[in-house]
Amino acid sequence: MKKLKSLSVLLAAILLLIGCEKEKPPLDEEYFSVNHWPVVKTEAASQLSGSTAHLNGNVNAYGLSTTVTFEYGTTTSYGSSVTAIQNPVTGNGITGVSADISGLFQDTTYHFRVKAENSLWKNFYGRDMEFTTPSPKVETLEATNITVTTATLNGTVCTYGVSTPINFEYGTTTSYGSMVPAYQSPVTGNGITYVSAEISGLTPCTIYHFRIKAENSLGKNIYGNDVVFPIHSPEVGTLEVTNITEYAVTLNGTVTGFYATVTIEYGTTTSYGSTVTPDQSRVTGNSITNLSAVISGLTPCTTYHFRVKAENSCGIGYGSDKTFICADPIWTTYTTTDGLVSNEVSAIAIDALGNKWFGTSESVSKFDGTTWTNYTPPDLIIPRYVSSIAIDKDGNIWSAWFVGDWGGAAPRGAGVKKFDGTTWTTYRGGYGLVSDYVYAIAIDAQGNKWFGAEGGVSKFDGTNWTTYTTADGLVDNYVWAIAIDAQGNKWFGTGSGVSKFDGTAWTTYNTSNSGLVSNWVNAIAIDAEGNKWFGTYGGVSKFDGTAWTNNTPTPGRGRDSFYVYAIAIDGSNNIWISGSYIQADAGRKDDEYHDWHGVSKFDGTTWTTYTTADGLASTHVEAIAIDAQGNKWFGTDKGISKLSDVCK
């Protein structure tokens, strides 16, 4: 009986062992058991696309061959399973397991878990985890290639590997109303894809809305942002001028055109009055087009206005008004290297053909703009220099000469010479001319030559000589400058003031009876309004026939005097002078006591001074002339400087 009982216990134990298969062990707890059931853990899903996913987990099989699967579905009831790639799992360590699933829907949440079982243990599960498949991502971009009736719609799409239809909705409101498929539809792949579509039949001068649209695998529509594009009048910009040259300039601007015709308006006021067609006269796209046009024949020292104009069927667009001035200087220097006979230039005259004649410390140089030609009288010794030069209506060159230098005794006067292009004719003091020491020459409308000299004034009508001195009414017999006004009056600058001669009577102006700043008058010029400008040993005096006004280009320097050497007036009535400061106690007028000033321009209000820092060859300037083009020519002790006006 005892034996039977033991057998029954043994049988019961065997049956118990066979029937002890666990259904639901604790989740995600890693512990050791002599029964070696598998330990499992669910890890996050990876490599998600719109229709696929990579499921992950860990399993420790504790030495028993273990079957591993993943359960998944849209609820915690799952409903689908897939075998792990690493199935079956053996060994005593943790093994990473995974499986790829496909056929998923976009924008959907899925549940999944790891499941493991071996020969002893059934249905061991990891915890439930979730992932959501991505939906298409879309973005609407700006329209391009816009014309009056057509446009290209643009956008980007990422479909996360699911073939997705792509369309553009468009219309005149955010209700759209029209739709066109993208050229690239349907779109697949996991990266960003650029898509576009052409639309036509648009209404000119109208604002349109559009957006990109994608349909996911559940039939849900995904929309991009709303973007507006106009079909309207051109967008226009005016830019600064470039490529500035003498009397010419390049006008610049931009147009976003929509089939626009482009011109540039310009003129001396904001009414413009002139137009030029740029090289890019027809603009068709909606991107910015740069345009330019060259204009020439401009007037120096004049303010010009300009703007860009573009026109299409929707209207006219204008750029902003901009200005430029043909006034900035270009400096050119000519020396003996170029062909000038000497760099010490003391007199300048310009003939009817525009040739420039320069009196120098050697002889006379002529410059026609290209070629230099030098002329020397055959009868004068070296050293010699020209103190004054003038040209009559027949083209004869009249020049006053000195021989010798300032190194020892003062240079000796050598009279006046006439050069007809071939022959030199000499006129000397004592033979009609009042003196050999001639400092100024002027020629009146009747062709009479007037010579200012030590001893008075001589007039030569081509046959007869007439001399005027203090005995006749001249204020001083030392005459340094001559000018002739529009009425034929002669104005003489002397060492004791100014004398005016109307052909009969003499009138004297000096510091005692007028506003003349100094009695030493070295230069005279007359402007377009008839004002007389006197360069003196104390600055500049202006006489309008009634009142006197005095000016100096720089502030006073104690007892020093500003000595004006030359004066000229340009076509805009600017006054140009040269000169130097001379020490008040020096008593001499040579370089030892001079502080040469350069040249200064006076516009009626402001003085502007130019020196070697600006481009002038030297601040020692003894002669100024202005040609028909407005170029200023300065005779210095280091050559000739030309100042040209250019467009800015």
Read off the CATH number of the domain in which 301 is found. 2.60.40.10
* pLDDT given at position 499: 97
- Write down the pLDDT at residue 70: 96
**Residue 571 buriedness (CB in 10 A; 0-12 / 13-18 / 19+):** middle
Q: Which of 5-19, 78-92, 265-279, 513-527 has the lowest mean pLDDT?
A: 5-19
**C-beta separation of 517 from 529 below 8 A:** no
Residue 437 and residue 422 in one domain: yes
Long-range pairs for 507-516: beta carbons < 8 A, 24 or more residues apart = 508/473, 508/475, 509/543, 510/475, 514/543, 514/548, 515/541, 515/543, 515/547, 515/548, 515/549, 515/550, 516/541, 516/543, 516/548
Asked whether the CA dihedral 334, 335, 338, 342 is positive or negative, the reply is positive
Picking from 609, 539, 600, the residue whose alpha carbon sits closest to that of residue 568 is: 600
Residue 260's domain comprises: 235-320
Specify if 503 maps to a domain: no
pLDDT, position 559: 42
* Distance (Å, whole) CA 258 – CA 289: 11
Condensed to tens digits (0 to 9), the pLDDT of residues 584-623 reads 554 444 444 567 889 999 988 888 889 999 899 999 999 9
Q: Which bin fits 58, alpha (ψ -120 to 50), beta or left (φ > 0)? A: beta
CATH code of 171's domain: 2.60.40.2440
State pLDDT tens for residues 133-173: 888 889 999 998 887 788 999 999 988 888 889 999 999 99
User: What's the domain count of the chain?
Assistant: 4
Residue 337 has pLDDT above 60, yes or no: yes
Query: What's the pLDDT at 38?
Result: 84
Is residue 626 within 8 A of residue 301, CB to CB? The reply is no
User: What secondary structure, in 3-state letters, does 499-568 show?
Assistant: EEECCCCEEEECCCCCCCCCCCEEEEEECCCCCEEEEEECEEEEECCCCEEEECCCCCECCEEEEEEEEE
The residues, ordered by sequence, that sit 6+ positions from 540 with a Cβ below 8 Å of its Cβ are: 517, 533, 534, 550, 551, 552, 553, 564, 567, 575, 577, 602
pLDDT greater than 70 at residue 395: yes
pTM over 0.75, yes/no: no
Q: Which of 408, 443, 468 is the last residue of a domain?
A: 468
CB 168 within 8 A of CB 81: no
The answer on pLDDT for 513 being more than 50 is yes
Phi (first) and psi of residue 436, to 5 degrees: -75, -15
Counting Cβ atoms within 10 Å, is residue 408 exposed (0-12), middle (13-18) or buried (19+)?
A: exposed
Cβ neighbours of residue 167 closer than 8 Å, sequence gap 6 or more: 179, 180, 181, 182, 185, 197, 212, 213, 214
564 in a structural domain: no
Question: Quick one: pLDDT at residue 379?
Answer: 83
Where does residue 371 rank: exposed (0-12), middle (13-18), buried (19+ CB within 10 A)? exposed
**Interatomic CA distance for residues 399 and 310, integer angstroms:** 60
- Does pLDDT of 639 surpass 90? yes
Confirm whether 347 is domain-assigned: no
Does a structural domain hold residue 147?
yes
Q: Report d(CA 436, CA 144) in Å as an integer.
A: 85
In a domain, 613, yes or no: no
Domain end call among 411, 435, 468: 468
Alpha-carbon gap, residue 164 to 166, rounded angstroms:
6
The answer to whether residue 258 scores a pLDDT higher than 70 is: no
Residues 113 and 40 in one domain: yes
Comparing 25 with 295, the larger pLDDT belongs to: 295
Give me the pLDDT at residue 479, please.
97
Question: Domain check: are 213 and 252 in the same one?
Answer: no
Domain membership flag for residue 463: yes
Q: What is the pLDDT of residue 483?
A: 97
Q: What is the pLDDT of residues 124-133, one digit of tens each?
A: 899 999 999 8
Q: What is the largest CA-CA distance in the chain?
A: 184
List pLDDT tens digits, range 340-388: 999 999 999 999 999 999 999 989 999 999 999 999 998 877 778 899 9
> Can you give the pLDDT at residue 29?
40
pLDDT score for 220: 81
Mean pLDDT confidence for 469-474? 96
CATH number at residue 461: 2.40.10.500
Label residue 30 by pLDDT band (50, 70, 90). Answer: very low
Q: Point out which residues pair with 534 in neighbouring strands.
A: 524, 541
CA distance 552 to 556: 8
Per-residue pLDDT, 188: 84
Q: Shortest CA distance to 182 belongs to which of 207, 219, 157, 147?
A: 157
Inside any domain, residue 291: yes
Average pLDDT over all residues of the chain = 86
Instruction: pLDDT band for 583, please (50, 70, 90 cuts).
Output: low
Per-residue pLDDT at 206 exceeds 80: yes
pLDDT given at position 416: 96
Could you tell me which of 115, 98, 218 has the C-alpha nearest to residue 164? 218
- Percent above pLDDT 90 for the chain: 59
Residues 178 and 198 in one domain: yes
Q: Are residues 241 and 185 located together in one domain of the fold?
A: no
**What average pLDDT does this structure show over 212-222?**
83
Structure tokens at 489: 């009056």
Q: Is residue 282's pLDDT more than 50?
A: yes
How far apart (Å, rounded) are the C-alpha atoms in residues 196 and 142?
A: 11
Dihedral (Cα; 16, 18, 22, 28), 10-degree rounding = 110
Q: Are residues 37 and 128 in the same domain?
A: yes
Same domain flag for 109 and 83: yes
Domain termination site, one of 105, 132, 159: 132
Residues 124 and 163 in one domain: no
Strands 289-296, 282-283: parallel, antiparallel or unpaired by DSSP?
Answer: unpaired
Q: What pLDDT is recorded for position 3?
A: 42
Report whether pLDDT(321) > 70.
yes
Domain shared by 384 and 433, yes or no: yes
Q: What pLDDT sits at residue 643?
A: 92
pLDDT at residue 371, rounded to an integer: 96
- Residue 352 phi, psi (nearest 5): -65, -20
For residue 547, is it within any domain? no
- Half-sphere exposure in the Cβ direction for 176 (13 Å, CA): 15
**Do the bridges between strand 67-73 and strand 80-83 make them parallel or antiparallel, or are there none, so unpaired?**
antiparallel
For the cut 60, the answer to whether the pLDDT of residue 222 exceeds it is: yes
Residue carrying the six token digits 């030392």: 478
Q: Is the pLDDT of residue 512 over 80?
A: yes
- Distance separating alpha carbons of residues 98 and 382, to the nearest angstrom: 112
| pLDDT value, residue 314 | 81
Helices and strands: H and E segment counts in the chain: 1, 52
pLDDT higher than threshold 50 for residue 458: yes
Which pLDDT value is given to residue 33? 44
- State the DSSP code for 204: T
| Residue 390 pLDDT class (50, 70, 90 cuts) | very high
- Beta bridge mates, 306: 266, 322
pLDDT computed for residue 128 by the predictor? 94
Compute the distance between CA of residue 238 and CA of residue 263 in angstroms, rounded to an integer.
11
DSSP string, 344-355: -EEEEEE-TT--
How does pLDDT run across 63-114, given as a tens digit for each residue? 888 899 999 999 999 999 999 999 999 888 888 999 999 988 888 899 999 9
Q: How far is CA 598 from CA 73, 319, 523, 614, 635, in A?
A: 97, 43, 16, 10, 11
List, in order, residues 6 or more apart from 475 with CB less than 8 Å away: 492, 494, 496, 497, 498, 499, 506, 508, 510
pLDDT score of 283 more than 50: yes
Residues 246 and 223 both lie in one domain = no
Instruction: Give the chain's end-to-end CA distance (angstroms, integer).
Output: 132
Residue 634 has pLDDT above 80, yes or no: yes
What's the confidence (pLDDT) of residue 328? 63
Q: Are residues 122 and 71 in the same domain?
A: yes
Predicted local distance difference test score (pLDDT) of residue 56: 95
- Residues 382, 464, single domain; the answer is yes
For residue 542, the Cα-to-chain-centroid distance in whole angstroms is: 41
pLDDT computed for residue 588 by the predictor: 46
- 558-570 mean pLDDT: 81
With a cut of 90, say whether residue 252 has pLDDT above it: yes
If residue 591 lies in a helix (H) or strand (E), which one and from where to where?
none
